[in-house]
Structure 1
Amino acid sequence: MKRTLATLAVAVAPLVLLAAPADAHRHDHGRPATYLLTGDDGGSKFEGIGADERRGVFYVSEVTGGEIHRGTADRAQTTEWLPGDGADGRFTARGITTDAAGRVYVAGGPNGIGTGRPDLWVYSARGELLAALRAPGENVFLNDVAIGPDGAAYFTNSNAPEVYRVALRHGDWGVTRWADATATIEQRPGFNLGGIVVTADRSALVVAQGNAGLLWRFDLRTRAVTPVATGGAALTDADGLVRQGSRLTVVRNFARMLATLRLTADGRSARLVSQVATDPGRVLTTAKELRGRVLFVDSKFDEAVASGPYEVVTDPLAR
């Protein structure tokens, strides 16, 4: 759809950090509005993104093959940082994040189901493999990951209402089933738990259940799981979550919408602020903030065989 300047200003008012005009190459200290990913000849699809604020770099995971791409905030072209197609046992990759030391955590989605391959990986900032781990269970689909206030990485499982914890202890990396919410969260057909963020007061994790359109609060001290009260906000197809202070942005992939909510510091409730349509030519999966801007992954999930250009964008809105 076409947007006048007046309409645009109203539509994105709650999303000050989320949207930049598509022609804003010269208006943001020379940083590009679009980042180019290197795809495969047979077509590539992408999903996760992790941002290292200190180093000014970001990482994007490739579903088709499991390659990990790396870019910098000030350059439009990214590079393939880690190979896929079986490297370190990785044939696909999903959620990805970084910790304060610059280590990179990669969720493997279905990589280990029925194969015995790793479900997740941890790399140093230099790309050295630190750990390739199997999660407990035989049907684990690790979807997304966030770093908790304890420095551990917390991974969501889309095939069961579970959260896994990965941490370094006494020099060894280990993974445990940290929370099992089977008694609380109804497992439904399709993708369940996905996007994950830490609350502002660092007391809990907020997790999206995309097929149900719900948000859940996982208490970091007690591991109790409760629904986030959203007043019935439409959140189906919730995928990636981005928290900026009290602003929670929900990337609704195939719904092609961005929902913005005001989340309480403890994550117990959220109030819908706006729903804004995203570019109908893209299926955005998730996003991360880097150097004052939010970067969105164009997955190509709507294409049977994906074709380029493959992009990470700073302007997610419909035009």
Structure 2
Amino acid sequence: MKTAVRSHPIHRSTPGRIAIAAAVIGLSFAVASPALADDSNDRQTRFPETITLPNDAVAGDLGFRPEGIVVKGNTAYAGSLVDGTIVTANLRTGQTAPLVAADGDPAVGLKIAGPLLLVAGGPSGELRAYDHRSGKEVAVRHIPEAGFVNDLTVAGDTAYFTDSQRAVIYALPVDGDTVGEPREIPLGGDFALAPPGSFNGNGIAVFDEDTLILGQSADPDGSGSALYLVDVSNGEATRITITGGDVTAADGLLLQGRTLYVVQNRENSIAQFRLSSDGTEARFVRTLTDPDFDVPTTIDFGPRGDLYAVNARFGTPGTDSVAYEIVRVQR
């Protein structure tokens, strides 16, 4: 039986400017011993498969409307597209708590770097840093020319942010709780912007210390989505050859070794690929879906290797009666 937890009410945040508006893999586990059965039951009992995010944490009545998620230990962090509110969720119990009060601008992608919770600010052009324990603001950097700062990843002492409307990546130095000044890395090589109105650079992951993997939601030739290797020293992008399948509606990326997960938001699925040793080829392995998916956007690894996604529910009119959830997916 799938378990769901609804959070206790928390106080509504100070109003701010309102901005932008698999099946758990069908694995049938053959129980070989009572120990395996007990472990499965324990997972179901203590780690709910859905956690409802608190609509009353955000200003107005548009609902929580999450986009980004990051997990540290048994705690997930989720941010609101409505006003930048960030809450934590205990993945063991399903209980939520406020962390960052609304500032009026969206919270899109999230990542943790040491003591910091880093946040992509969408159309605000902001790169934000908070203490991930207290929620205290540490730094805000602003990109005046930014289009839509969407997602990010962290490699060593640098966080890399994507922009879905410009052919650039932003590099932000991060050392402990010290945040430097951002610089632009123009994208070249195989990367080209899709027609106006399209979403471009979106999900991003670290391939190695010198190279990132970048997802483009809509590729220029109109064939779906695209993946690239990006040299961080000069922004040179090499398109990754996809075999055995394709990618559409690409959103968040997650990499473990040579296994790449690509969230396909409007497909309500996660595509799993196996990368070649040099990263230039991605072989389709399988699709993960879940009956609880409703336009998932980003994912992270959680306890026991499960994946955790957030349902953005794009296309659903936002109200405080709509349930926005974190969904656990067993691999």
Q: Provide TM-score, normalisation by structure 1.
A: 0.80
* Matched-pair contact (CA < 8 Å) for 1:204–1:267: no
* Matched-pair contact (CA < 8 Å) for 1:98–1:104: yes
Partner of 1:75: 93
What is the alpha-carbon distance in structure 2 between the residues aligned to residue 168 and residue 8 of structure 1? 41
* Matched-pair contact (CA < 8 Å) for 2:23–2:289: no
What is the alpha-carbon distance in structure 2 between the residues aligned to residue 109 and residue 279 of structure 1? 29
Q: How does 1:141-220 map to 2 (within 5 A)?
A: 141-148=148-155, 150-168=156-174, 173-177=180-184, 179-182=185-188, 184-188=190-194, 189-199=197-207, 201-212=208-219, 213-220=225-232
Partner of 1:261: 273
* Matched-pair contact (CA < 8 Å) for 2:230–2:236: yes
Q: How does 1:1-319 map to 2 (within 5 A)?
A: 8-9=26-27, 26-27=42-43, 30-40=46-56, 41-53=61-73, 56-84=74-102, 87=103, 90-99=104-113, 101-112=114-125, 119-125=126-132, 126-135=134-143, 137-148=144-155, 150-168=156-174, 173-177=180-184, 179-182=185-188, 184-188=190-194, 189-199=197-207, 201-212=208-219, 213-231=225-243, 233-279=245-291, 282-291=294-303, 292-306=305-319, 307-315=321-329
Kindly state the Cα deviation for residue 168 of structure 1 after the two structures are TM-superposed: 3.9
Distance of aligned partners of 1:171 and 1:144 in 2 relative to their CA distance in 1, 3 Å threshold: closer
Q: Provide TM-score, normalisation by structure 2.
A: 0.78
Q: How many residues align structurally? A: 285
* Matched-pair contact (CA < 8 Å) for 2:188–2:235: no
Secondary structure (helix, strand or coil) at the match of 1:314 reads: strand
Kindly state the Cα deviation for residue 139 of structure 1 after the two structures are TM-superposed: 3.8
> Which residue identity does 1:164 align to in structure 2?
Y
Task: Mark the runs of 5 or more structure 1 residues left unpaired by the alignment.
Answer: 13-23, 113-118
Task: Mark the runs of 5 or more structure 2 residues left unpaired by the alignment.
Answer: 1-21, 30-39, 220-224
Q: Deviations over 1:39-64 (max 9, x none)?
A: 144323110011224xx322111001
* Matched-pair contact (CA < 8 Å) for 1:25–1:32: no
What is the alpha-carbon distance in structure 2 between the residues aligned to residue 211 and residue 262 of structure 1? 22
Kindly state the Cα deviation for residue 316 of structure 1 after the two structures are TM-superposed: 8.3
- The Cα RMSD (Å) is 2.8
What is the alpha-carbon distance in structure 1 between the residues aligned to residue 23 and residue 290 of structure 2? 16
Q: Deviations over 1:16-37 (max 9, x none)?
A: xxxxxxxx66335722222221
| Identical residues among aligned pairs (%) | 27
